[in-house]
């Protein structure tokens, strides 16, 4: 568990009265809305749709094996920058992983192109929405970028309500 300075945590008591410290994820707290949004994006575009918090894939449509995986350096960088990022075939600037650890560590090999947009709660990015494609012929573009920006903005507004 990577807890950074200033990150929210929950204090829970287990059944024997011991105190348990748990990282709080505002995106995961949105519940069933997040997987439904990912599913809608997948059904609409045919591209893999992921929703993450700062550390973990919270929802995955079109790639269920990525659910619960830690985010990789590309998503971490997108959260840190707080702006949408589009990667197309031939973008040699970045060959880092979307989703980290395990046999999915080389996601750049699995996805031909992807777009990442932050989920912003106020001034802070608390997660991302990702659309990715494995097929070079179906690369993501400005339309998909607009979709993930809108989805990220929608989820961000749910967090500040």
pLDDT at position 105: 43
Q: How confident is the model at residue 74 (pLDDT cuts 50, 70, 90)?
A: confident
pLDDT at position 152: 92
Q: How confident is the model at residue 61 (pLDDT cuts 50, 70, 90)?
A: very high
H or E, element range at 122: none
Instruction: Identify the residue whose tokens are 């575009």.
Output: 45
Contacts of 48 (CB under 8 A, 6+ apart): 42, 60, 61, 62, 63, 66, 111, 130, 131, 132, 133, 134
pLDDT at position 20: 72
Counting residues of the chain whose pLDDT is more than 70, the rounded percentage is: 71
Q: Rounded distance, CA 89 to CA 96, Å?
A: 14
pTM: 0.78
Write down the architecture of domain 30-160 according to CATH.
2-Layer Sandwich (3.30)
What is the average pLDDT value for the chain, to the nearest integer?
79
Instruction: Identify the residue whose tokens are 């929703």.
Output: 51
What are the backbone dihedrals phi and psi of residue 21, each rounded to the nearest 5 degrees, phi first? -95, 125
Q: How confident is the model at residue 96 (pLDDT cuts 50, 70, 90)?
A: very low
């Amino acid at each position: 568990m990577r807890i950074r300075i200033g990150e929210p945590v929950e204090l829970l008591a287990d059944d024997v009265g011991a105190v348990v410290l748990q990282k709080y994820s505002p995106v995961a707290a949105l519940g069933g809305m997040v997987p439904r949004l990912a599913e809608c994006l997948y059904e609409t575009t045919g591209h893999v749709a992921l929703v993450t918090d700062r550390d973990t894939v919270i929802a995955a449509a079109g790639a269920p094996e990525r659910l619960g995986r830690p985010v990789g350096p590309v998503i971490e960088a997108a959260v840190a920058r707080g702006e949408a990022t589009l990667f197309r075939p031939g973008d040699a600037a970045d060959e880092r992983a979307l989703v980290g650890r395990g046999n999915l560590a080389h996601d750049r090999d699995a996805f031909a192109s992807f777009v990442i947009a932050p989920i912003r709660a106020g001034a802070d990015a608390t997660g991302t929405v990702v659309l990715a494609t494995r097929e070079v012929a179906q690369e993501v573009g400005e339309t998909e970028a607009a979709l993930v920006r809108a989805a990220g903005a929608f989820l961000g507004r749910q967090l500040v309500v």
